[in-house]
Amino acid sequence: MTINFKWLPPKLTAAFLICCISVSANSREIYKDPSQPVEKRVADLLNRMNLDEKILQLNQYTLGWNNNINNIGEEVKDIPAEIGSLIYFDSDPALRNRMQKKAVEESRLGIPIIFGYDVIHGFRTIYPISLAQACSWNPDLVKEACAVAAQEASMSGVDWTFSPMIDVARDPRWGRVAEGYGEDPYANSVFCVASVEGYQGENLADTTSIASCLKHFVGYGASEAGRDYVYTEISPLTLWNTYLPPYKAGVDAGAVTVMSAFNDISGVPASANPYTMKDILKDKWGFDGFIVSDWGAVNQLCNQGFAYDNKDATAKALNAGLDMDMMNHAYDRNLKELLEDGLIEMEVIDDAVGRILKVKFELGLFENPYTHLVEDRFLRSNSLETARRLASESMVLLKNDSLNVLPLKNYKRIAVIGPMGDDKKNLLGSWNAHGNPEDVVSWLEGLQNEFDSSHYEIKSEMGCDFDKEIEGAFDKAEDLAKWADVILVCLGEQNSWSGENASRSDIHLPTIQENLAQIVSSTGKPMVLVLSSGRPIALDNLEPLFNSIIATWQPGVEGGNALAGILSGRINPSGKLAMTFPRSTGQIPIYYNRRKPGRNNQGFYKDISSEPLYSFGHGLSYSEFEYSDLSLSADEIKKDDKVIATVTVRNNGNVPGKETVMWYISDPVSSITRPVKELKRFEKRNILPGETVLFKFEIDPVQDLAQVDSKGNTLLESGEYYIMTGDKSIKLRLTE
């Protein structure tokens, strides 16, 4: 059995030659020696493996009861000891350890399995959905939450999470907007890095670190008409400027795996696309981890009309750079024959196996293949505190009119009306791993915790179900509304209405919920809409009925305490939208960083406003922040100079508040048209009443002013730029 050298990256080639000599000389098992460099261990082990062992390393099956409703695959009986990876559906490490023991002790070379799982926004301590986390504009807090998720997951037998999801998305009909960090490439990049660092920690081999996975590579968020698993029309320019930047940030942050997407990228499906997976990811960016397919994405190439059969799909996927096959049973069933037919080269198989082994060595799985049981690994007090902080910082106060109903004051009788009022399950959101509804603090429970029963009376009625009537419930709700001094109308989506395979043709809430709001609003009492959803919701019918509106998203286990803290005023809301709220479904796609139109005063809708209901970056506070003195350290610089922009922000309110200053650039005239503005930096800080704080943005023209052309080359043109923040803007001239 021979292995060709020409494919080996240089550092591996040398290591490989040394290994071949040493193996032949003394067959010392270098791969078992942790003092050896990883590349030598990989080379030594590769040299020892036979073809069957190599092929099985490229496959991932499932272990445990599969609770992923979108992917109920055939249960694999008698899993071979040489399998490369398993998706682990249990939260107790015992089953994992039994399977790992089989791999380590019954296989010829004792190669450990890497166990993966969808730890998207928490493992058992469930945090707000990722879209909500982005609205916190607090990457440090997101990193903290991911570190807890990693701790709970790793102590439960999981080595690898299929997260972060960093698909820029601008169509809220698509259910998976819930899983990413919104419509902006820079925001997705920053939260991607925070997640990768949180999951992988300082050292991947630490017992509380897990491997991250950048997904879904690439452009999945452009899914046509907001449906799932469909075509995406992506120009090279859009690919480079919108969808790729978060992945580049994740690779640079050290993410060790990537997951290929379902979508067809303008005619070449992502899971068989050599341009994206090899030319860009592996060659241009130097990514030396491995790529795993999404579930069934290889065989789906046949449905997409890109492959004749699973064998053809296998050849196209592996030759395009897809290293591991998730639950297709394509690689294990076809690779040997493809090799014999000359349709796959051995060097391609070796490269893929080498990448997978590298990650397993870096995770320390050869030295520590088993998970040691730690009973009190879930819902620790510090984990819940992180959940509470992240939930409260991710909620967005969308409206608080002149009646200033919020924070609630002097209202003795509080009515909690609506299907979300005492709901727990749906606050967990989609992809809630091992989250348990019993762990969740509901809206009603949070209010009861927060508002002293000696001063306040809190009563609740459902009024209706999420999408259907409940006999007599409207009348009870109306009676309660008449009793109340203030009404909290708690509406929203079930958690199954967003996430994978959960597109909606209309982003309004069900009519029954809107009718409930109408009925209780007829009492004329102060009205607060508490909205829970996995996506932006069209509120054009509801907005006029309410004095205040708060978007809580799906905030996880501590949602009720976070909301109640905001409603009482103990917490000053600081969330800002990471995704635009359209006025109606018909406006979609609508997002802030759009291209400039040919006419500024024509081309609008004839039936509704062309402006969104709430824009990207919108979010109110109980404080009032005033921006002033935007200035530049120079108003003209050369391309290789740097310049510092500063702005002062004053809190004119009477309570401390956190403000996120967002810095945008605008390049009004360029050889390739650009968006009206582009987010390039943000910073969130607490500002005391009366305090003025200086915010800085050090501008590096190449990083912050340039765009990328359709070939992936940086394009930085001299001319006028504008630096914008708050309601301010200042001109900067860039010269050669």
Which CB sits closer to ligand GLC, 190 or 326? 326
CA distance 728 to 647: 9
What is the nearest approach in angstroms of ligand GLC to the Cβ of residue 639?
Answer: 40
Per-residue CA distances from 701 to 698, 706, 736 (Å): 10, 6, 11
Give me the phi and psi of 397, to 5 degrees please. -80, 105
Interacting residue with ligand GLC among 13, 22, 71, 648 (CB under 6 A): 71
State the sign of the Cα–Cα–Cα–Cα dihedral 316, 319, 322, 326.
Answer: positive
Contact characters 246-285, ligand GLC, x per CB under 6 A: ----------------------------------------
Contact call for residues 84 and 352 (beta carbons, < 8 A): no
What is the nearest approach in angstroms of ligand GLC to the Cβ of residue 150?
Answer: 16
Query: Which residue's CB atom is positioned nearest to ligand GLC?
Result: 162
What is the nearest approach in angstroms of ligand GLC to the Cβ of residue 82?
Answer: 22
Contact call for residues 33 and 367 (beta carbons, < 8 A): no
**Segment contacting ligand GLC (CB under 6 A): 46-54, 67-75, 121-129, 647-655?**
67-75
Contact call for residues 730 and 644 (beta carbons, < 8 A): no
Q: Does 522 bind ligand GLC (CB under 6 A)?
A: no
**Residue 294 is a catalytic residue:** yes
What is the nearest approach in angstroms of ligand GLC to the Cβ of residue 66?
Answer: 9
What is the nearest approach in angstroms of ligand GLC to the Cβ of residue 214?
Answer: 11
**Segment contacting ligand GLC (CB under 6 A): 65-73, 103-111, 598-606, 642-650?**
65-73
What is the nearest approach in angstroms of ligand GLC to the Cβ of residue 215?
Answer: 6
Residues 283-302 that bind ligand GLC (CB under 6 A): 294-295
Question: CB-based contacts of 501: which residues, under 8 Å, 6+ apart?
Answer: 70, 175, 228, 229
**Segment contacting ligand GLC (CB under 6 A): 68-76, 345-353, 445-453, 564-572?**
68-76
Residues 487-506 that bind ligand GLC (CB under 6 A): 500
> Of residues 167, 294, 312, 332, which has the active-site annotation?
294
Q: Does 68 bind ligand GLC (CB under 6 A)?
A: yes
Residues 153-172 that bind ligand GLC (CB under 6 A): 162
Please count the residues of this chain forming the interface with ligand GLC, following the rule CB under 6 A: 9
- Pairing assessment for the beta strands 231-232 and 264-265 based on DSSP bridges: parallel
Q: Does 523 bind ligand GLC (CB under 6 A)?
A: no
Sole residue written with tokens 């002033």: 628
For the sheet with 290-293, list strands across it. Answer: 213-217, 257-260, 290-293
What is the nearest approach in angstroms of ligand GLC to the Cβ of residue 165?
Answer: 7
The residues with which 400 forms a beta bridge, in sequence order, are: 548
Q: Does 70 bind ligand GLC (CB under 6 A)?
A: yes
Residue whose C-alpha is closest to residue 595's, from 665, 717, 678:
678
- Pairing assessment for the beta strands 719-725 and 657-666 based on DSSP bridges: antiparallel
What is the nearest approach in angstroms of ligand GLC to the Cβ of residue 616?
Answer: 25
CA distance 386 to 141: 7
Contact call for residues 712 and 284 (beta carbons, < 8 A): yes
CA distance 384 to 393: 14
Which CB sits closer to ligand GLC, 72 or 688? 72
Which CB sits closer to ligand GLC, 90 or 678? 90
**Segment contacting ligand GLC (CB under 6 A): 37-45, 63-71, 384-392, 666-674?**
63-71
> Rounded to a whole number, what is the distance in angstroms from the first to the last CA of the chain?
58
**Segment contacting ligand GLC (CB under 6 A): 7-15, 66-74, 188-196, 237-245?**
66-74
Which CB sits closer to ligand GLC, 115 or 162? 162
Which CB sits closer to ligand GLC, 70 or 654? 70
Residue 304 DSSP SS3 = coil
Contact characters 201-230, ligand GLC, x per CB under 6 A: --------------x---------------
Q: Does 118 bind ligand GLC (CB under 6 A)?
A: yes
CA distance 636 to 733: 4
Q: Does 61 bind ligand GLC (CB under 6 A)?
A: no
What is the nearest approach in angstroms of ligand GLC to the Cβ of residue 470?
Answer: 34
Which CB sits closer to ligand GLC, 120 or 390? 120
Residues 331-360 that bind ligand GLC (CB under 6 A): none
Strands (E), 374-501: 396-400, 413-417, 457-461, 486-492
Contact call for residues 619 and 682 (beta carbons, < 8 A): no
Which CB sits closer to ligand GLC, 4 or 70? 70
Helices then strands, each counted (H, E), the chain: 19, 27
Q: Does 671 bind ligand GLC (CB under 6 A)?
A: no
What is the nearest approach in angstroms of ligand GLC to the Cβ of residue 295?
Answer: 4
Sole residue written with tokens 């409260």: 392
Per-residue CA distances from 174 to 170, 261, 272, 499 (Å): 9, 15, 23, 8
Contact call for residues 239 and 183 (beta carbons, < 8 A): no
Which CB sits closer to ligand GLC, 67 or 518? 67
What is the nearest approach in angstroms of ligand GLC to the Cβ of residue 71?
Answer: 5
**Segment contacting ligand GLC (CB under 6 A): 64-72, 105-113, 450-458, 662-670?**
64-72
Which CB sits closer to ligand GLC, 60 or 154? 60
The alpha carbons of the chain give a radius of gyration, in whole angstroms, of 27
Give me the phi and psi of 369, to 5 degrees please. -75, -15
Q: Does 585 bind ligand GLC (CB under 6 A)?
A: no
Give me the phi and psi of 68, to 5 degrees please. -90, 100
CA distance 142 to 243: 21
Helices (H), 498-621: 511-521, 559-568
CA distance 677 to 593: 6
Burial of 295 (0-12, 13-18, 19+ CB in 10 A): buried
Which CB sits closer to ligand GLC, 439 or 500? 500
Which CB sits closer to ligand GLC, 71 or 615? 71
State the sign of the Cα–Cα–Cα–Cα dihedral 594, 596, 601, 606.
Answer: negative
Q: Does 181 bind ligand GLC (CB under 6 A)?
A: no
Q: Catalytic site residues? A: 294
Q: Would you tell me which residues interact with ligand GLC (CB under 6 A)? A: 68, 70-71, 118, 162, 215, 294-295, 500
